[in-house]
Every structure is written in structure tokens, then in C-alpha cells.
Amino acid sequence: MFKGLCRNGDNAGALRLLRNMESKAPFKPDVVIYSTLIDSLCKDQLLPQALGLFKEMKAKGILPNVVTYNTLIRGLCNLGRWDEAKDLMSEMSNNSIAPNIETYNTLIDMYCKEGNVNEARSIFELMSKRGVHPNVITYSALLDGYCMRGEMAEAENLVDIMMKDGIAPNIVTFSTLVNGYCKNKQVDKAVVTASLFLGLLTNPNVSDTDKVLLEKYFLECRGT
């Protein structure tokens, strides 16, 4: 019932249920309950309420877990509140909570959007050393950072590493590359890359939305 309320965006109803649970022993809210509501609040960009609930759970001795921290870090990053996100990351480390793939992906994306691709690359290398294997989301986020800065040689090198790592590029990877080439006036490379993934149009696993995106980038590059 609680998850259902959050899933439907009824944060007020979920909060009432949480308060009701608190008043009726032995049913006490746990970290899962709090994290679920915090996630729902973050999705609705209600960060003050989410952070208030986070502070409340800690005051009650309910220890946040990696899911709780990931949710808040992602919520803060989505609103461009980089410094607060970094503070939470430090708190997470101080509490001996190991970051997972989602944590690292959020941080890499944050640093890239902040324009600090070097720091994003450091996080990328650190996660590998700690045994957290990058996935296509990790690579695509870092790739976007290089493309935004016009560092297309680094972007190409990253794609090579990605392929050697056994990770197949997805629609986001390809469109990021094509967009980067177009913005940096490397039209020939953009058209070649676009032509390569236009072959995906015959793939039944590619959604209609992705097909439209593919065609859009292809036509933009041809018209540049």
C-alpha cells in the first residue's frame, strides 16, 4: 500500500500512512519505508521535504543505506545543487557506505554537466579500481562530457575502451557521438556514424521514438 501511494505520486497520503505507522507499535517505519518516500519526493522535485525526512530518519536512529543516498544525490544533481550532492557523498563515505554503480554514474554525469570532465574521468577510473564495473550508462555520461567540450579524440578513445570492455553502444551512445561531431564541424564523421546506426532502424528492438531520434540526427548532419 505504501509503495502504491508513492508510485501514484500521492506523497501526502504516503506521509500520513508513515505517521500512522509510527503511532501504532510494533509497526515502525524502517529504512525501506523512508527511502521509498524520499524517492517519491525527489521525483516530484520536493527536495526540502525529502531532505527533511532524511534528517528525521537519522534523528530517529534509522540509518540511511546506499539507496537512500543515491536517491538524494540524484535529486540534488537534477536540480544543479552540486555542492550539496558532494557533501552527501562525503557523508556516505564517512558512514562506511560503499557507493554502487548508480552512485558512480550519478557523480560522473554531475561532473560532466558541471564541465569538470577530468574529475569525471577520475571517478571513472576509481570505480574500476574498487571493483565496480562501468556499464553503458557510465560510458555514455562520460562520452557526453567529452563531446560537450569538443574533445572528440578523447570521445573516440573512450568508445574504443568501451568496445574492448565488451559493452555494446546503445542509442544514447551513438546520438551523443553524432551530436558531438556535428557541433564540432566534423560532418563526415557524423554522417558515417549516423549511417552506421541507421542500420538499427530494421531492428525490432529499437523503439519508434529512438528511430525518430536516429533520423533526426542523420538529417541534421546531412544538412550541416
Residue 57 lies in a domain: yes
> Please, what is the angle between helix 117-129 and helix 101-113, to 10°?
160
Residue 3 lies in a domain: yes
Residue 55 lies in a domain: yes
Answer whether residue 105 shows pLDDT above 90: yes
> How many separate domains does the chain show?
1
Q: Give the pLDDT mean for 203-216.
A: 62
- pLDDT tens for each residue of 4-34: 777 777 778 878 887 888 777 677 888 999 9
Q: What pLDDT does 199 receive?
A: 62
Residue 12 lies in a domain: yes
Residue 173 lies in a domain: no
Residue 211 lies in a domain: no
The CATH number given to whatever domain includes residue 76 is 1.25.40.10
CB 127 within 8 A of CB 134: yes
Residue 133 lies in a domain: no
Q: Give the pLDDT mean for 39-62.
A: 94
Number of neighbouring beta carbons within 10 Å of residue 219: 11
Q: What pLDDT does 74 receive?
A: 94
Residue 209 lies in a domain: no
What are 16's three cell numbers? Answer: 500520513
Q: What pLDDT does 20 receive?
A: 82
Report the candidate in 76, 66, 125 with the shortest Cα–Cα distance to residue 97.
66
- pLDDT tens for each residue of 115-154: 999 999 999 999 989 999 999 999 999 999 999 999 999 9
- Ranking 11-20, 46-55, 93-102 by mean pLDDT, the lowest is 11-20
Percent share of the chain, pLDDT over 90: 54
CA angle 212, 157, 182 (to 5 degrees): 40
Tell me how far CA of residue 122 lies from CA of 60, 134, 196, 199, in angstroms: 36, 13, 31, 34
CB 133 within 8 A of CB 148: no
CB 125 within 8 A of CB 158: no
Q: What pLDDT does 73 receive?
A: 95
Q: What pLDDT does 210 receive?
A: 64
CA distance 221 to 83: 37
Q: Give the pLDDT mean for 76-88.
A: 91
Q: Give the pLDDT mean for 25-46.
A: 88
Answer whether residue 206 shows pLDDT above 90: no
CA distance 167 to 158: 11
**Where in the sequence is the domain holding 81, given as residue range(s)?**
1-98
Mean pLDDT for all residues in the chain: 86
